[in-house]
Structure 1
Amino acid sequence: MRKIHVIGIGAGDPDQLTLQAVRALRSTDVFFLLDKGEMKADLTRLRRQMLDTHLPEGTYRLVEARDPDRDRSAGGAAYSPAVGDWRSARAGIYERLIAEELGEGETGAFLVWGDPALYDSTLGILEEVLRRGTVDFEYDVVPGISSVSALVARHRTGLNRVARPVQITTGRRLSEGFPEGVDDVVVMLDAHQVFRRFADQDIDIYWGAYIGTPDEVLASGPIAEAAPRIERLRAEARERKGWIMDTYLLRRNPQDR
């Protein structure tokens, strides 16, 4: 039986790998890596750096494939079908890699940014591959330090307040309005800086980009004061690297609902 490790590798810092993750790395025969193109070559480099940090040089095999492009222009009702098409295309690649590059009795691994259970598609894609029935394998999941955990740690704050819920959502959902009954909201995948819409409210923002990497950028404060600084930092970072991954926590004064 082939085996797959889905390993959460943290937000970018090799020191964020857990002991469980390191043990999984050392029991792996083949590492599968999806290349996102030259613009995001840093992501491949960081993965290689993690492997070189925790494994003896030349002791592991790395198999790379090109990550399929996703239609990021799709919106509204077309958004979910576009994501579904992209995931199915990825499933086809995973299926081929496992069938052709992983021998019977061998162990392969996918290295997942942050935590595999939080805004990542790897687990769902592996389940789709198994449903296709062309290749058989078992898999396990190693949790990792998410960008959310790393964000609040870097800002020296908590994710929630006493007896209060916290919600994790996307910029797309936040654009529909601040969630009802929640005052602490973590926002991921916000390409349009939706937080600017709440500058007239008593809300603090804790923002970070490239968290856990040498390019990490942080900013915090009341939205009205911090938003212009975040916009500038974000624009400069995107211009410099060609891409950006950022996450933020919004903390609202309950009296300002």
Structure 2
Amino acid sequence: MKKILIPTDFSKNSKNSIRYAVDLFKENPCQFFILYINIEGSNITEKPVYEFGTNVLVEIEPKAISHKLKDLEKFIASLSSKKEHHHFTTMREQGYFLTTIRKHIQEKEIDLIIMGTRGASELKEFFIGTRSGDVITKVECDVLVVPDKAKFKNFKQVVIPIDFEVDFDDSILRKIANNLNSEKAQIKLLYVTKSQMPLFEEIELQQEQLVQRLSEKLPNPISFHRVVSKQIEDGIQIFAESMNADLIIMISKDYGLIQRSFLDTTVEEVSFNTSIPLLSLQG
């Protein structure tokens, strides 16, 4: 059974992330943990704000939280796509966001975090803060970011940006297959370069080998594409929109803090610009 953690602040778009999750995994047995984190106080090592594109909501009154949780449970019960093999647990906890998320990931063996976002500007504020990309780059769990008003539809076009430094091992390929839930989805491998120069022979060979390897492991149609863009995130966004992509999948790299801050910014940059759901997989 897939175990999914969905943080909530009771806003419309956090509810939309629940609806999207239920539709996405309608055929899969799932245990959904809906978590409200009540944050109070301050700490110099962790920003005491619960913000990932939704409204910041800090409720001190326990009765108010209980009422909102009951309303959320009614909302979940009303979802027409909710299946018998879907189980929900609503939770509330007081503490710091990352600390609490990590605790539940470990205790409940969470497979995926799903987060809603209201739009580019709000999510950008979260990602470019002092803890740039905390949830994606500092929490050891796969993360699906669902933009505001996004409605799930069967994946037809999926874009996977590549840089030939990430090894698509069997565990990553299994994750891709499990999250797509469709053999018909077309996978577009995207390589963004900053100049029109022809690719080096070594890169061309890596490209051919990667397409061949993925084609052997995944049943989906796979193709390789190259775009030229001064900004990687712009190239990904423009290409994904031109393909009417339903999903962008990115592989997070396990860099150290300094390397991550200065070298591995692609995931964070794309996260706050895209209007397309983004799935970040731990590499």
**Do these two structures clear the TM 0.5 threshold for a shared fold by scoring above it?**
no
Relative to the length of structure 1, the TM-score reads 0.28
